[in-house]
Amino acid sequence: MHDDLILATPRGLYCPPGDFYIDPWQPAARAVITHAHADHLRPGSAHYTLAAPGEAVARRRLPADTTLTAVPYGEPLVFGDVRVSLHPAGHVLGSAQVRVEHQGRVWVVSGDYKREADPTCAPFEAVACDVFVSEATFALPVYRWPPTERVAEEILAWWRDNRARGVASVLFCYALGKAQRVLAELAARTDEPIYLHGAVASLTEDYRAAGIRLPVTLPASEPGTRPRAYAGALVVAPPSAAGSTWMRRFGECSTGYVSGWMRIRGNRRRRGCDRGFVLSDHADWPGLLRTFRDTGAARILLTHGHSDALCRYLREQGVAAGALATEYGGEH
């Protein structure tokens, strides 16, 4: 609509009265960031605003001289005559929803979010608003997440089976967020050390520095002359390591992949992994619908994912819904 508070522009989601962008995909004068995943945090903007708990991981992904303001959750900011505040999205450490208030109207841009408990980040906070801009990554009714405890127990049982057979367990997780969430869930269940791929290790240190309880971790370095150094071990690695020469150090191993996409068998087979574990940092179908009710929003705008299906479904349910074209990938 013409006087919308947030517009989809070629540069990114833009707020005209506040003159700032949210997660722009091209450089902007001022960028308010929901979280540090690469499709939401891109380098090149003149100034970044983000939630304080996410500062360390964001700095790791931006050039050293970047100008950045880290604000606590809930603290009000003023851009022009627009009031802006950041609220926990429950997606990863420091992930935020952006609340934008202008002349009595309130819009909330969710970024990515989930409703399940996560020991590594503040839980999602339902923020009352007129318009809720939501992700739709898993917006099909087949996406219903099993309880996190059950998935954590499955991972543990898989690791134990592999250990009994004397082979390594290599678990592929997105390096920022998912890996640390899985580590934290395992820390509540075992004291054993877990090996990390380099891409996971540095981010994990940021989480540890933020006071999150994690297990003892060791670098999954070259085994050198130790034969079968990784027999029975659990190794956490980013999905990009699958099929790479880096994997050779483990010899015979079983592979697992942790993602909401693993809900569909075909996705797991395409990944070529032995096991798929259904654990996502995004909202599932019931989670999306519940969140829309919780915010009390009269209008829902959808960004990335299965937005067409969800949009049509909401309209048929009598909810004013639309789409905002973005370049967020959201497929992790």
- Residues 124-163, mask of contacts with other proteins (x by CB under 8 A): ----------------xxx-x-x-----------------
Q: Residue 265 interacts with other proteins (CB under 8 A)?
A: yes
Q: How many CB atoms lie within 10 A of CB 316?
A: 9
- Start-end of H helices in the chain: 55-60, 148-164, 178-187, 198-209, 265-271, 285-295, 307-316
Binding-residue total with other proteins (CB under 8 A) = 20
Exposure b/e, 41-61, CB count within 10 A at least 16 = b: bbeebeebbbbbbbbbbbbee
Q: Residue 304 interacts with other proteins (CB under 8 A)?
A: no
Out of 60, 189, 213, 270, name the contact with other proteins by CB under 8 A.
Answer: 270
Q: Residue 269 interacts with other proteins (CB under 8 A)?
A: yes
Out of 63, 104, 266, 318, name the contact with other proteins by CB under 8 A.
Answer: 266
Q: Which of residues 189 and 270 has its CB atom nearest to other proteins in the complex?
A: 270
Q: Whole-number minimum distance, CB 94 to other proteins, in Å? A: 29
Q: Which of residues 70 and 242 has its CB atom nearest to other proteins in the complex?
A: 242
DSSP state of 307: H
Q: Whole-number minimum distance, CB 80 to other proteins, in Å? A: 35
Q: How many CB atoms lie within 10 A of CB 36?
A: 25
The region of 72-80, 211-219, 288-296, 305-313 touching other proteins under the rule CB under 8 A is 305-313
The region of 55-63, 111-119, 230-238, 257-265 touching other proteins under the rule CB under 8 A is 257-265
Q: How far is CA 327 from the centre of its chain?
A: 16
Q: Whole-number minimum distance, CB 309 to other proteins, in Å? A: 5
Question: Can you state the percent helix, strand and coil of the chain, rounding each to 5?
Answer: 25, 25, 45
The region of 42-50, 91-99, 232-240, 309-317 touching other proteins under the rule CB under 8 A is 309-317
- Start-end of H helices in 124-176: 148-164
Q: Which of residues 205 and 274 has its CB atom nearest to other proteins in the complex?
A: 274
AA identity, residue 11:
R
What phi and psi, each to the nearest 5 degrees, are found at residue 291?
-65, -40
Handedness of CA 67, 103, 322, 332 (dihedral sign): positive
- Residues 40-79, mask of contacts with other proteins (x by CB under 8 A): ----------------------------------------
Handedness of CA 193, 196, 198, 201 (dihedral sign): negative
Q: Residue 2 interacts with other proteins (CB under 8 A)?
A: no
Q: Which of residues 189 and 312 has its CB atom nearest to other proteins in the complex?
A: 312
Q: Which of residues 191 and 316 has its CB atom nearest to other proteins in the complex?
A: 316
Q: How far is CA 51 from CA 125, 132, 206, 237, in A?
A: 14, 19, 15, 27
- Start-end of H helices in 61-113: none
Out of 95, 254, 280, 295, name the contact with other proteins by CB under 8 A.
Answer: 254
Out of 274, 294, 319, 322, name the contact with other proteins by CB under 8 A.
Answer: 274
Q: Which of residues 48 and 292 has its CB atom nearest to other proteins in the complex?
A: 292
Q: Whole-number minimum distance, CB 269 to other proteins, in Å? A: 4
Rounded to 10°, the helix 178-187/148-164 angle is 80
| Alpha-carbon span 93 to 52, nearest angstrom | 10
Summarize as ranges the residues that interact with other proteins (CB under 8 A). Answer: 140-142, 144, 146, 254, 263-267, 269-270, 274-275, 306, 309, 312-313, 316
